[in-house]
Structure 1
Amino acid sequence: MTTAPHTAALRVPFRLRALAALPFALAAVTYVALLAVWSDRLPDPLATHFSYGGEADGFTGRAAFTAVGAALLLTLGAGWTVLVRRGALWGAWLTAGLTGTLLVLVVHDNLDAADPADVVSPLSHLAVAAAAGAALALAGHALSRLVPPEEHEGAGPAVHPDAPRLDLGAGELAGWSRATASAPLTALGLLFLAGGAVAVLLGPWPLLLIALAVAVPGLALARIRVSVDRHGLTVRSTLTPRPRVHVPLDDITAADVRPVDALREFGGWGYRVRAHRSGVVLRSGEALVVRRGNGREFAVTVPDARTAAALLNTLVERRGRL
């Protein structure tokens, strides 16, 4: 038996969408303006790709680079504007700061270059871009306080009568914990880790960064432990202290068991975010799904999910009687 279907919608304030779009608009305007102001000091084509040592090994026409860079910023901005949530506004500002800074630094590296093949882009530029992204992330986090929380409409009943429950006495305490692993995430992480090793040997440092960005979180989430107790639901990596996801019991209105399709419903494996729901998805199959107070759902694929859902529903009802 499962909980009754319900419909829910989150009303995202216009102010939040505007604040999500703002850093991308500023980055795009700055990028295009600098290209225009420095046009007589820039070669054509520009050096736009660099080896591990910073030497130029790829070139793009000035007009094409202007269009591609602006399109990248505006596309990222559009995506964040549509999907942004109050608690993730910092991510929009981080993305804009990191991407915009890298584009501007590439333009700056080409200034006054007689031959684009002589342009050098030092690896330290990555640290500069990361610092700019972190600074803007802090700004985005601060600005999120200007936005009221998203309002939720159309929530269903807290716990459906047919939802699973445990026969737990009034004074009894109980907990549930289960470890599970993902073969696809392990294979993907190891594959990208091997790709990173190849990148170190061959020299294209951007490939190394991409490989590590995929391999490290992928392997961290390849084996997790899911726990349920009076504090709520916790999902943590068994290999590293982070990532860790905790949904407090006070934020849970109901729990259910549901089959999920990793690719069709979540677009892959790992920590996934979709409209009105998120989850830690290690495989297709049985998942524990909890409905939160704001109407969003959080899912985690784990064996024996029915026991976890039953315990959560019992604890939620017990909390309601206090």
Structure 2
Amino acid sequence: MKDTTVARRTTAAVWTLGVTAVLTGLPLVVRDRLPDRLATHWGLDGDVPNGSMPLWAASLVPALIWLVTSAVVTAPLMRAGPTAGPSWSTVTLLPTGIVLAGAQAAVVRANLDRADWHEARQPASWVVAILTAAVLAGAVGWLLVTRRRGASGGGTTSAGDAAALDIPEGRRLVWFSRTVNPWLQLLAAVTGLAAVAALVARVGGLAESGSLWALFAGCAAASLLSVLFSSVQARVSERGLEVSFGPFGWPGRRWAPGDIDTARAEYRRPAEVGGWGYRISGLGTTVMLRAGECLVVRPRGRRTDFAVSVDDAERGAALLNSLRGGRPRR
């Protein structure tokens, strides 16, 4: 719990400081190619600018707006204890950072190589692209928060630590457990920020498109993979065992109760299975996100096990044994 809290706060700090650096540094990096004053506002009736700022103000004002917004939104997150649930700061900070960074890149690009700010032109398509990206980021953040909160009430409705559970007639039990590797989430935030910075630099005209597109693609792919495999969910119900990855529960694997020979809980370490992540070793396949208790099943007709590192694995194994006929109903 402590590691999760630290990583959550660190991720928020990385995103806040990273966006601040992009907002402040973008105009300064190409200041030799910008006029003394930058066009910063365009009217609704055309591409002609109707407002400007000196270079220092165009660099600092968006950064100050971002820092104030971040401070207000993340203050509850920084005060939250280890058991605090997912914060709605995700929904706010993602689109806000993207809007400000995109707007800054658009301002710089519009003023680039202009002798006077009156000559700057702002393509309407950029505004549409920025707003679209912000809406998509907000939707992703909303899905992340609502999905995690919906899953936080998991667990079985009955306790038990035997090899199987006695399920009263007419009762249906569901067991759910989730494990998160906060450091993979932090890696996703860092590489995602690098991807945003590369995209902003490309829009701002800081470098050749080829190298920046390659950097953007690599960092975006690394961020996506880190997000997908930074968490794992296991669910046992009358449908059997369902194991899914990432905040959206995809990709995943599923076994019906009749497709499983045995289920048990077992303590495993990364060194025993070949490291972190989705590992294949002499012990079979292991989804290893943290050392400790794992739910281990032997699929029917297979000689190797499938294991997933989740809490309360013994109860999940007991319920799964009951559902596959390990103990009759009462």
TM-score, length-scaled by structure 2: 0.42
Which structure's CA Rg is the greater one?
2
TM-score, length-scaled by structure 1: 0.43
